[in-house]
Chain A
Amino acid sequence: MSDTIEVDGKQYAVDEEGYLANLNEWVEGIAGVMAKQDNLELTEEHWDIIRFLREYYEEYQIAPAVRVLTKAVGKKLGKEKGNSKYLYSLFPYGPAKQACRFAGLPKPTGCV
């Protein structure tokens, strides 16, 4: 567990898969740095999903599996966004896994 990620001059511990070790340490800058490592530029559409995931975690204490995320996004942000094509276009490494990582959450429960 020696991996860290540097954001604004501060070091944050991450696990071997790159997920933030302590979700309470999360700041928005972390998402930006992680995205850059994945060659992604975060847009408002990405942020909608990242914020949504943080709210979901706040309420239910888990990071949702991808099909649960897809369904929940459709309900909250509109049907046109609640499909995997849209979500994969934003997060090519898997909407649940990649977006959860940017959001400082653990790896989703039920993603196998």
Chain B
Amino acid sequence: MKQTFAIGIGGAAGQGVATPGDIFAKIFSRRGLHLNAYNAYQSIIRGGHTLLTIRTGTEKVTNMGDRLDLLIPLNQDTMDRHLQLLTGGAACIYNADTIKPGPAADGVQLCPLPVSELADITRNKVAQNTLAIGAGLHMMGIGFQALEEVLREQFKKKGEAVVAENVGVARAGYDYAAAHFSGFPNPLPKTENRYAILSGNVAMAMGGAAAGVKFYCAYPMSPSTGVLHWMAAHARKAGIMVRQVEDEIGVINMTIGAAHAGVRAMCATSGGGFALMSEGLGMSAMIETPVVVINCQRAGPSTGVPTKTEQGDLWQMLGAAFGDYPRVIAAPLDIGDCFKLIPEIFNLADRFQCPGLVLCDLLLSEGRLSVHPNDLDFNQNIDRGELITANGNGNGAPSALATNGDYKRYKITDSGISPRAVPGVPGHIHTVATDEHMEDGVLISDEFTNPIKRRAMMEKRMRKVAGIEAAVPPPSLSGPRGADITLIGWGSTKGVIEEACEILNEDGISANRLQIRWLVPLHGEAILEILKDSRHTIIVENNYSGQFARYLRSETSFVPDGHIRKYDGEPFMPHHIVEAVKEQLTGRTKLSVPMHEIMV
């Protein structure tokens, strides 16, 4: 099993959980270590309980893992919730003045810090946090200089006195640990690599900028708001028009308006906002104006659990807007893929003049991952398809080269794609309509109702589906062929399924995996071809009803041997999947719903 080290920092919202998390993350990434961070939090600004898990290692860390090596509880509540989950070899650093430990497992090192002796707590309200960072760092075998550098950056704006104060407090914690606590057996290594640390929301926003998005708008909604925040902060440098809109209905319609004028336009929301956008998506498909819409899923239905993760919107996505229409739906597989997917889906949306939908979730949106800077490449291939603009920018044809005169916006073609002229281009005047229309855009919904023309236009649009299928690669199997177990997942569960497979293989159960990124088109035949050799198939997903299992069955008639589902708001941990597989191999059940042991 790969060597990783995980820290859990917990406390009430507003107690400063984020800062120590950021400091550790920076120190790890500067040591050339990979990391994965997940914050379990609540919909509350002050109070409640949040637990930030940061897991690091020399190899790629794809999920939060199964164990904590170091727990830093910032209040009694956190101590009470999590100390009992620590196992031998782990340590817990806490403020001995205010927090009492409970019973701990054998081999757990309790590390009480006499905070009021080590720091002036009347001046420094978060002294316990800083002391704990210092102490923890010593126990991990990292030199103090790394921490001093980060603290200097962190407090630079507040002046030298504040820097000195914090460095002093951190040093006191560091030295106290040296004198009183034993270090972890394996000091954290160091490599020459350097990684960027980012959330899925930041990755999708940057992916949008790399794709040439020039218009982004949104209504704030957890867990998608991070996309808006990045876009707003970087809009002027990136030349992107960013607007906050009155509601998600306004958002989708504004996005379509901007896209119709000829720019790449994108928006993001969560399930509730996406529900409001549904009618607009139909318009995008009907007038054949491409947009990209991101849905960062949270636990539903309705307001649901706004700060918790779920893969519960698949059928909403599949059913969004009435009528039949071509579209693309993709679920990013990890935070790096959040970046990569956006330019890809824009190219498809532009080429096929249809909506491109991204089905992300809180786990990726708000989680953080180390990504190699080369994987955040802004030099992306941009394919705008058959676009006619006034000056031929992007790779749309300039109007002079395009057909002139009797321009038909919805010209019937073999591919179903009709050259798209944007307003402002001479010689191509036309009106687009959400009503069914003829090739030239004139409505056939009222006076000119005509079943032959209606059928021809429906078939023209739907012919794009074949082109989309050919443009999107089928999924592929990872791991040994002919394995005992095939785990099937989609989107964000890739990392945890990967690790579960590694553990199963170590435990003597050979396992391979099939992770779905493109939901529409699904490539059902290719999936059947892959699964026909599988000995025992299990679909793993973060929802109650097995939404993907039902979708796969509806498209292919494929029925798996078992299901592992979780719908408690928290993501899978590797052992949840490993134990469920073992349980199902005994034949006791075909449906496992692992219990989330951590109360967050």
A and B together in one complex: no
Q: Measuring CB to CB, which residues of chain B are less than 8 angstroms from any residue of chain A?
A: none
